[in-house]
Amino acid sequence: MAANNTGGWQLTAATYARGGRVQKVNDDGSYTATIDNPATRDALEFLHALRWEDDSLLADATLDWGTINQAFAAGQLGMYTSGSDVYTSLVQTNGIEAPMYGLTGMPLDGTDSGVLVGGTLAAVNAKADDATKDAAVKWIDFFYLSKLRDQDQAVADAKVNSESGQPVGTPVLPIFSREQYETALGWVKDYVNVPLDQMAGYTDVMFDQPVVGEPSRSTQETYAAMDALVQAVVTDKNADLDTLLSAADTQVQALLDQG
């Protein structure tokens, strides 16, 4: 991925995996851009080597989350980094079949290395009346949470999805504890239809790898600035990483200084 903020998103994941960070919070509460760091540089040099030395990187700097999924489903590429839950979308949108897919965890290197985590936002409009807010909270609980902590809800949801050909059991880091996650997975084991044996490279380590949150300030703008770094190494054999990293740092620092 290299476009629409996804290049920066995955470059951040690659940075974390190498022990780096792309911004830090100072003691006074201000933020400092740290994109120009050895881990990000190493990740870019890795991509550059794949593209220009090994010739194993797809020479397309326009791919984003949706189009890289399409390319994978079409057999144009064999491996890419994304969220662990992407299998669900690949089945629903791109027609991926189970034998085509495997999942593993990103390798970590360094004492401060970790995996980038995010999440799904479920929000209620603060201007809504109380009845609407109450209804929205009930819906959020029903749609997102109850199937993770109530056996009857879990089984009903899994049964409907299984019967309609939707994935059941796609691995994701849980919102609750590991114990509750494994309990809920046990409730629906008869309906699980994803190739968990082909995902063991991820599920075997998903609770052991340290997790690191997304950049706290100007998150998407930071990713957008980092897109240019990925695009450069994919399209320009002579990309000047010193200049590119310095420019990205300066650009993002200006955003952070604005608050």
Query: Is the confidence at residue 121, as pLDDT, over 90?
Result: no
**DSSP H or E stretch at residue 187:** helix 178-187
pLDDT in tens, 96-108: 999 999 999 999 9
- Show Cβ contacts of residue 71 under 8 Å, excluding neighbours closer than 6 positions: 58, 60, 63, 77
Beta bridge pairs of residue 6: none
What is the C-alpha to C-alpha distance for residues 194 and 142, in angstroms, rounded to an integer?
23
Residue 251 is predicted with a pLDDT of 97
Beta bridge pairs of residue 58: none
Give the side-chain half-sphere CA count within 13 A for 164.
8
The overall average pLDDT reported for the chain is 96
Domains parsed from the chain with CATH numbers:
6-118+213-258 (3.40.190.10), 130-193 (no CATH)
Confidence of residue 110 (pLDDT cuts 50, 70, 90): confident
A 10 A CB-CB count for 205 gives 15
Confidence of residue 42 (pLDDT cuts 50, 70, 90): very high
Model-level pTM?
0.93
Query: Is the confidence at residue 209, as pLDDT, over 90?
Result: yes
Question: 103, 199 in Cβ contact below 8 A?
Answer: yes
Query: Is the confidence at residue 191, as pLDDT, over 80?
Result: yes
Question: 230, 11 in Cβ contact below 8 A?
Answer: yes
Query: Is the confidence at residue 259, as pLDDT, over 80?
Result: no
